[in-house]
Amino acid sequence: MKGFVDRHGHAFIMIHLRASDVATPHGIQVWIDTGFNGDLVLPQQTIDDLELPASGTVKAALADGSVVTLQRYLCLVEWFGTERELEVVANSGEYPLLGVGLLVGLDLHISYRTGEITIE
């Protein structure tokens, strides 16, 4: 899987997800966030657009130390040739975030010299 580093130094890759096995997959550019130990965070607007079904709530500790309760949703993600069901977390942020939960067992290579990202 390949990605890119933007002019601000943010690492991005494209993933494809959908609400159910009969829904059309949508490509979403996600920011790789190695400080996030979950799988995937999506802005609430993206969740609404994809019509993802709600699956509950989860408490989360934010970078500033505060603890919040966030809504969880189900989706299917195409990940290295297989489709995985994930519970994604909603937030009010601007960018979808891909956490280390999806990177466990893989190698992440980011070249800030060339701007290239490879996950294998």
* Entry pTM: 0.89
Structural domains in the chain? Answer: 2-119 (2.40.70.10)
| Between 60 and 32, the higher pLDDT residue | 32
Residue 93 has pLDDT above 90, yes or no: no
Q: What is the mean pLDDT of residues 33-47?
A: 94
Q: How confident is the model at residue 92 (pLDDT cuts 50, 70, 90)?
A: confident
Is residue 42 a contact partner of residue 54, using CB atoms and an 8 Å limit?
A: no
Residue 41 has pLDDT above 90, yes or no: yes
